[in-house]
């Protein structure tokens, strides 16, 4: 009997080690906040994105659309769609001179007016700003990467700080220009594990 128990324990230990070695770990970081959306039905809730006329005037319409559409199809609980009506938008994108060295910035708010900036509350509105003096000097592929990264923040993902991680959500030009596995798993965790508040 002791031999059977010992053999069973060795088998369980070996299986545990094998599972641990084969399972992946991810570096994504989630903000503490959530979008208020409806999870009823088979249709994923939309985050409606409005591109301010400044986006077009500085030539960022295409990269902005790539930025928000890139996150579609990853989670059944979240998708983005464009709108031409500012008052119907959950997310507004602007372009101009931010007087910083950043390519762009994003803030989520708990009030539709743009007051109460918070990464930990219930999101009601998000604002993305493109810093034209800095971003215009970069190549088109990097511009797209920047916008995909910013819309990751809109979705609820924080920056990845692990320098060895392949992720759009890593800061800077890290040579990853499309969504990586870590980015996708981050969105899935945000919407499917952490959950999105239903209304």
Write down the domain spans for the chain. 23-193
CA atoms within 13 A on the CB side of 56: 5
Entry pTM: 0.81
Residues in the chain, pLDDT under 50: 2, 4-24, 38-43, 194-195, 197-199
What is the model's pLDDT at position 25?
Answer: 52
Dist. CA 60–CA 38, nearest whole Å: 31
Q: Give the Å distances, CA to CA, from 1 to 4, 7, 11.
A: 5, 10, 15
- DSSP run (H or E) holding 79: strand 79-83
Q: What's the pLDDT at 86?
A: 93
The pLDDT assigned to 8 comes to: 41
Q: Residue 92: its pLDDT value, please?
A: 96
The CATH number of the structural domain formed by 23-193 is 3.40.390.10
Residues 6+ apart with CB under 8 A from 175: none
Alpha helices for the chain (secondary structure H): 2-22, 53-57, 61-69, 132-135, 140-155, 181-188
Q: How far apart are CA 46 and CA 91, in angstroms?
A: 11
Provide the pLDDT for residue 156.
87
- pLDDT for residue 132: 98
Quote the pLDDT of residue 27.
62
User: What is the reported pLDDT for 21?
Assistant: 33
């Amino acid at each position: 009997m002791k031999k059977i128990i010992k053999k069973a324990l060795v088998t369980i230990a070996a299986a545990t080690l094998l599972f641990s070695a084969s399972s992946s770990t991810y570096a994504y970081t989630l903000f503490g906040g959530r979008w208020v959306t409806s999870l009823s039905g088979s249709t994923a809730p939309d985050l409606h994105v409005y591109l301010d006329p400044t986006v077009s005037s500085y030539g960022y319409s295409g990269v902005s659309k790539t930025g928000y559409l890139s996150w579609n199809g990853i989670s059944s609980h979240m998708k983005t769609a464009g709108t031409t009506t500012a008052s119907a938008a959950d997310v507004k994108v602007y372009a101009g001179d931010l007087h910083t060295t950043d390519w762009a910035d994003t803030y989520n708010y708990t009030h539709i007016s743009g007051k109460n900036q918070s990464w930990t509350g219930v999101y009601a509105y998000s604002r993305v700003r493109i810093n034209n003096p800095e971003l215009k000097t970069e190549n088109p592929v990097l511009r797209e990467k920047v916008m995909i990264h910013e819309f990751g923040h809109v979705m609820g993902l924080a920056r990845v700080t692990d320098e060895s991680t392949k992720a759009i959500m890593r800061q800077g030009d890290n040579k990853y220009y499309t969504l990586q596995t870590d980015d996708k798993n981050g969105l899935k965790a945000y919407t499917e594990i952490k959950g999105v508040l239903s209304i």
